[in-house]
Amino acid sequence: MQTMDTMPATLWIAACAHRLQQQWHTVDPLELEDVARDLWRDERLRTMLPDAAAVEWLKPITERPSSADRVAAGLEAGHV
């Protein structure tokens, strides 16, 4: 098994781009590869497995409350 220290950058970037493609089906794969390359340049993300780095980077998007959740929270607080 390869560690992040021995995984070639091109393989890491390809795997990360593949994971991003699972989130964004309509985005051009070459653009996602550019995003993955930017993620690889981040020292903290580069130490992670490519899938984990993509998931970490996607957290602000995937963990954002839905509109219904925000409306419900506003109703409970009496803001609507």
Sequential pLDDT tens for the chain (80 residues): 454 667 999 999 999 999 999 998 999 999 999 999 999 999 999 999 999 999 999 998 887 665 545 544 454 455 44
Query: Which residues have CB under 8 Å from 64's CB, separation 6+?
Result: none
Q: How far apart are CA 80 and CA 70, in angstroms?
A: 10
Contact 57, 39 (CB under 8 A): yes
The reported pTM is 0.73
Q: How far apart are CA 71 and CA 27, in angstroms?
A: 29
